[in-house]
Structure 1
Amino acid sequence: MTSDENGSPSSADSVRVRTLVNALDEYRQARERLLAVLGHSSNRDPLAEVAEHLVAALMGGKLAVNRVQKAWDVELPDGVKAQVKYLANAPGSAVWVNEHRVRRIDDVDWYVLVLVEAFTVVGVLAFPMNLAPIAAALGKRHPDQERKIEFTRANWLTIRSDSRRFRTLGMRVWLPPFEQESCRTRDQDD
């Protein structure tokens, strides 16, 4: 077997290598544009950055000065704090590859989960400190429901289809479109 000057076998797929490097360059340029919109540069996951900025805008809060501090990411004008996470999955699958453990965090008032499918935000869910009523409404059977919810696609579909019910349990639910009146929720128009 022969090899090139770098020791790669002559059978190396140069077209694939070029395609990968070019795709990474396109991604880098798009990421730089996104970071410019966010107002800073970062090596953090861009979905985490977008999620935090989106939640701050939806809830009328401001981002934590220390972008990697423990426990909370957004502080509301009244001092209420929110932890922001995102959950990304492919669209249209019967089950999600990625699921999420929503959890109560001491000294944090809201646990906010930004749901992303195919790089599109499909919903934003803010969970209050007491998770038990929400877990019960979702039919959860796992232990410690006051402090955690094992969140699945079926749970998302249930909340999305009956967001008003979950709001009465203390949740805040935002559904697209997230346009001009970003703090409004879709069923407020009902």
Structure 2
Amino acid sequence: MIIMNSEVFIRAYDTAIRGGVPFELPYTARLLLPGSDAAIIVNRDRITTSINDAPVPGDHPMNAFVEEHQLEIRDVTSVDLLLYTKIVMVGRWHNDGTEMQGFEPYLVCKTDEKGHVSTAKYEYEFFGYGGGGHSLGLNSKIDGWSAHRVIMAVTARLTDYSNLSPGLPKTVGLPTGAVWYPPAGLGLPCLVMEHANEQIEALTA
């Protein structure tokens, strides 16, 4: 499931900064589209799909989508599958604002022969990996709890639709949050932050 537990992020962040990191940690973000959590699971012998952590029903359009693009999926994952036993592209199955639906990938989880899983930004050149443009610099002196709160506040600002008519953001499918990516090679965790305004309201109630 794409929504990542805040406690997991906080623990992983604290572990990483204890190992020594640069003073400023630049996190970048992609806006998170509304829709169902979805994944394309690629093994060496087959490709399967899931939505909301359950197998996709046979008549679901995501199955037809993956079947149509299976050669491209095999092509972009072929090198990694020499090193890993499973690659999971994690994202959203969403409506693009018309009658069309599609898969938007955000993260890639790779499992090696020993069962170790690594998670990173989606960067295969197939589905495309969207624009960025949103970033923040976290001070490495702050802990994971504080880093989580900073990211929550910035995400709330990016997805603040209080100036729009009620119900309009959902109707037109505006982003519901953001996926935050750390600089590579430091062992820092990604964070998926959704409905941050509602979370802040709940914390301050």
Q: TM class, shorter-chain normalised?
A: under 0.3
Normalising to structure 2: TM-score of the pair? Answer: 0.24
Q: Which has the higher strand share?
A: 2
- Higher CA-based Rg: 1
Normalising to structure 1: TM-score of the pair? Answer: 0.25
